[in-house]
Structures are given as C-alpha cells and as structure tokens.
Amino acid sequence: MLRLRRVTRVHGYGAAEVHALRGVDLDVAMGELVAVMGPSGSGKSTLLHLAGGLDTPTAGTVHVGRDDVGALDAKGRARLRRRHVGYVFQDLNLVPALTALENVMLPLELDGLSARRARSQATAALAEVGTDDLADRFPDDMSGGQAQRVAIARALVGPRRLVLADEPTGALDSVTGEAVMRVLRARVDAGAAGLLVTHDARHAAWADRIVFLRDGLVVDSTGADPGPDHLLSGAVRA
Amino acid sequence: MSIRQGILALLTERPMHGYQLRQEFEARTGGTWPLNIGQAYTTLQRLQRDGLVEPVPDDDANAPERFRLTAAGAAEASAWWTRPVERTAPARDELAIKLALAVTVPGVDVVAVVQRQRTETLRALRDYTRLKRDAAPEGPELAWSLVLDSLIFAAEAEVRWLDHVESAVARAAVARATTRRPAAGAAQASGDPTAVGHGAAGTGEGGAR
C-alpha cells in the first residue's frame, strides 16, 4: 500500500544542507501498522510527510497504492490526501464554531459529498471512536480527550486507505491514549495501512513492526514475528 | 520464595493436592511462571516440615493427598499480604551487568549493544501488548491482565533506561572529545568522528565548554 524506495530528502542548500533521510526503503501493507521510532532529528516526521504527500523526496520514489506521489502535481497530491490519507496529528484543531458532527463532516463536504452522505459517514466515524454522544457539542464544551477523539474521527472519516499518525496520543492520559491506539489498530485491522511515529514504546508496541531511524537511516527493525506463542514459556494458555 | 508463599495463599481458599495447586497457580498468573509438579510437591513437603501445612485427616485414601493450612500457616499467609516485597537487594540483572561492562571494557560498540537490546525488548513489549488487547480487564481474566501489565511496565521501563544509557554514553563521548582537544572549539564538534551517532538526545550539548 505504501512503498518508499531509496528515499532521500535534503532540506536547505550548501553549508546549511541537512540530509533528513538518506536512501530509506519502507513498505507498509494493507492491514499492517508500522511504528517508526528514533531520536529527535532522525527523520521520523519527514518520513511521515513524504508518505502522506505533504512533501516530495529529493531522490527516490514514494508510492501510495498505484500513485507515484512524486509524479503527481500539487492538485493530484491534494486529492490523494483528501480521499485516501487520514492524518492523526498531535494538534488537530477543531473548528470552534462547528459541532463535533459538523467538524467531522467538513472534509467530506469539501470533497463534494452530499450533506446526507457526509452526515451518515461522519456519524459512523464518531461512533468508531466512541464519541457519538458528543455529535451536537461544540469543541469548547469538550474535555481534551474528547476533542482529540473527535479530531481522530475527522482524520479517519470515509474510506481512508492509509492512516498516518504523528504522536497521536499527545498529552492524553494513559487510558485515553490507549483508547486512541485501539481506534487506530481497529482501522488498520479493517484493512487500512498505518504508519505511526512515536517516541513512546507503549504505543509503538501496538504496531506489527517497529522501525528505528537514526540520522536519516533505518538502523534496525523488529520482524513481524514471532508472536505471543514464543513468548510465554508456560504455554498454559492456548 | 514466591512459590512457597503462593501455595500458602492458595491454601487459604480450600485444601488442595499438589496437582490442583499447580493448576491454580498457573491459572492465576496466566502461566507466566510455570510451576512443575515436582516443585509443587517439594514445596509442600518443606511447608509440612516447617509446620505450616498438614495433610487433611480422614481424607479418601485412594485420592491424592490434600493439604490444608495449620494455624501457623494461616498466620504466615495473612502476614504475606501486609509485608512488602523486599527491594533492598537488587535482583541480578544480566542486562544491567552487560551494559555496565560494555561501557567500561574497551572496544565495545555500546550504541549497537543498546540498539540490539532495544529491538528485542520492544518485540517483547509488542507481544505482551497483543496478549493484553485480548485480555478482558475484569472477571476471571483480571489477574492475567494485571500480570501482563506488570510485564508491559517493566519492558517499557527497560526501553526508557536503554534510551537513557544511549544519551549518557553520547554525552560522555562528547565531553571526552572536548577535553582531549580543549583548543579545538565548538566549530569542529560536528566533524568529530567520536561524536558520530550522538544524535540520541544528545544534540545541543556539544560545544558547551
């Protein structure tokens, strides 16, 4: 679903040149959640921006499905982002003048969907994150955790094939953070491809694979197996 | 010690024979610490020797021998709950020992040692998390779910410690390089080969002196 080949991204010129990524290969299949970990400045966020068509590589290719992101023009990339890519960022600002439901409907309406269909998809997305009872509330009347979940519903609304998350649990408490990870995981289990950038080992642990970046290079990764069967020597539990 | 105490604690519920004790012990802890049948019986014998358990009198002679708590055993079992687990003598931890040696033995690539371990610990953390996802945090699964939490928290702490080791080592390398060439100045820090891989949390402290 997502495929990066020998992706290099250089910011700046001459003496100020910074190699954010140096020839990175990465694949994320449908139904797979991959976590990216690494110290600040290792290239994690650049990787995520490239995967979502917010940025284009200096060298190498990024494919989302069949689309070569580097070959699309700005309009094509915008369409790709609007229709197929869901972003879950730490600061997802809701529009204060709109209710939770209207906030979630917004990207669908911008994409030309009828109000009726937008409403039903938005209602489903709110239910997916367990906030359907907040549909008519305004952002100011929600707790931080509630607003974050509504923002996630907005990011995931509609049939997104690729979900990108950058520290999605932000400043949430651990129970709410776990609820956010459950939503992401459920969406991936339902068939989307997921890429998660985090410094939090507990959240990375929800992924099928964990990739480590350092100085713009992939330095290590966990395989997708072995599974739990190998883990507990007791083997009492089937 | 935990097997001995665990058996006493289980016997506060009802008299049991060795096999039942083994089954109950493993069921409560999700099989995380398997107890073999030999251990169960040896422990029962020691507890009997110490006067903490006794065979159930007038039990069916054809059935396996069941044990119950003596008064002293019941007192010991209830004292266990109120007595904190001793934390004064740290358990021997291979990883802590390995890294303590890695940072002192010349020629060891500490960053590589840390990274290899981090990958392994994260894989374990991921696998515990998978199990945790399926364990209901209430009813009969509660005990198992909490044992998993304990393993998850410990693995998470280990990853945090590894991150800390990495940045402390990077910091020390920068400090060493600066003392070796006091006149070199900050401008050279980025080109210093000993500073390679210090991208950890260590950015920003170069050139402080």
pLDDT at B199 over 60: no
Chain mean position to CA A58:
22
- Across the interface, whether the CB atoms of B31 and A237 are under 8 A apart is answered yes
Question: Which range, A36-40, B74-78, B93-97, has the best average confidence (pLDDT)?
Answer: B74-78
Start-to-end CA distance of chain B, whole Å, equals 52
Place of tokens 């002192």: B104
Between A120 and B90, name the one with better pLDDT.
Answer: A120
DSSP A95: P
A227 pLDDT tier (thresholds 50, 70, 90):
low
In this structure, of A56-60, A150-154, B90-94, the range with the lowest mean pLDDT score is B90-94
What are the extents of the domains in chain B?
Answer: 2-82, 94-195
Question: CB contact, 8 Å: A28 with chain B?
Answer: no
Percent of the residues in chain B that have a pLDDT greater than 70, as a whole number = 86
Q: Is B26 on the interface with A (CB under 8 A)?
A: yes
Residues in B touching A219 (Cβ below 8 Å):
115
Under a CB-based contact definition with an 8 Å cutoff, are residues A51 and A162 in contact? yes
- Residue A238 binned pLDDT confidence (cut-offs 50, 70, 90): very low
Which helix (H) or strand (E) element contains residue B114? helix B110-134
Q: Do B118 and A205 touch (CB under 8 A)?
A: no
Q: Does A206 touch chain B (CB under 8 A)?
A: yes
Q: Which fold has domain B2-82?
A: Arc Repressor Mutant, subunit A (1.10.10)
Reported as a pLDDT band with limits 50, 70 and 90, residue B1 is low
Which of A16-30, A47-61, A182-196, A212-226 has the least mean pLDDT? Answer: A212-226
Nearest CA in chain B to A208: B126
With bands split at pLDDT 50, 70 and 90, how would you rate the model's confidence at B6? Answer: very high
pLDDT at A91: 66
Lowest mean pLDDT among A79-88, A218-227, B120-129: A218-227
The rounded distance, in Å, linking the Cα atoms of A112 and A228 is 45
* Helix intervals (H) in chain A: 44-51, 74-84, 100-110, 115-128, 144-156, 174-189, 201-204
Cβ–Cβ contact B130 with A under 8 A: yes
B139 band by pLDDT with thresholds 50, 70 and 90: confident
Decide if pLDDT at A213 tops 90: yes
Whether pLDDT at B198 is above 60: no
pLDDT on residue A53? 87
CA angle (A117, A119, A123) in 5-degree steps? 120
Section B165-193 average pLDDT: 69
Whether B152 has a pLDDT exceeding 70, the answer reads: yes
CATH, range A31-56+74-225: 3.40.50.300
Minimal C-alpha gap between B127 and chain A (Å): 5
Q: Find the mean pLDDT for residues A79-106.
A: 86
**Chain A (170-199) residues lying within 8 Å, Cβ to Cβ, of chain B:** 182, 185
Count of A-B CB contacts under 8 Å = 90
Q: How far is CA B209 from the centre of its chain?
A: 40
- Tell how far CA B23 is from the center of its chain: 22
Asked whether the predicted pLDDT for residue A234 surpasses 50, the reply is no
Q: What is the mean pLDDT of residues A48-71?
A: 91
Looking at the complex, does the CB of residue A220 fall below 8 Å from at least one CB of chain B?
yes
Using a CB-CB distance cutoff of 8 angstroms, which residues of chain A are in contact with residue B131? 228, 231-232
Q: Residue A171 has what pLDDT?
A: 66
Of A145 and B44, the structure prediction assigns the larger pLDDT to: B44
Mean pLDDT of chain A: 86
User: Which residues share a beta bridge with A212?
Assistant: A37, A220
Its ipTM equals: 0.74
Task: State the pLDDT at residue B164.
Answer: 92
Map tokens 């600061």 to a residue: A91
State how far residue A125 is from chain B, nearest Cα, in angstroms.
21
Q: Which of B34, B155, B199 sits opposite A215 (nearest CB)?
A: B199
pLDDT at B42: 93
Interface touch B123/A222, C-beta < 8 Å: yes
B122 → closest Cβ in A222, A232, A235: A222
- Contact flag B129-A202 (C-beta cutoff 8 Å): yes
Query: Does A131 have pLDDT greater than 90?
Result: no
Closest chain B residue to A235, measured at CA: B31
Sequence ranges of the domains in chain A: 31-56+74-225
Of B27, B115, B155, nearest to A219 by CB-CB distance is B115
Least confident of A160-164, A168-172, B35-39: A168-172
- What does the pLDDT look like over B25-61, one tens digit per residue? 988 887 788 888 999 999 999 999 999 999 998 778 8
Which tens digits make up the pLDDT trace of A103-127?
999 888 887 889 999 999 999 989 8
pLDDT number for residue A225: 66
Higher pLDDT, A194 or A87: A194
What pLDDT shows up at residue B189? 44
- Looking at residue A116, its pLDDT comes to 93
Among B122, B152, B167, which would you mutate to test the A interface (most chain A Cβ atoms within 10 Å of its Cβ)?
B122
Candidate from A185-199, B100-114, B139-153 with smallest mean pLDDT: B139-153
Residue A229 CA to residue A227 CA, distance in Å, equals 6
Query: What's the pLDDT at B197?
Result: 42
Interface check A222 vs B, CB under 8 A = yes
Q: Could you tell me if A190 and A17 are in contact, meaning their C-beta atoms sit under 8 angstroms apart?
A: no
Q: Does B83 touch chain A (CB under 8 A)?
A: no
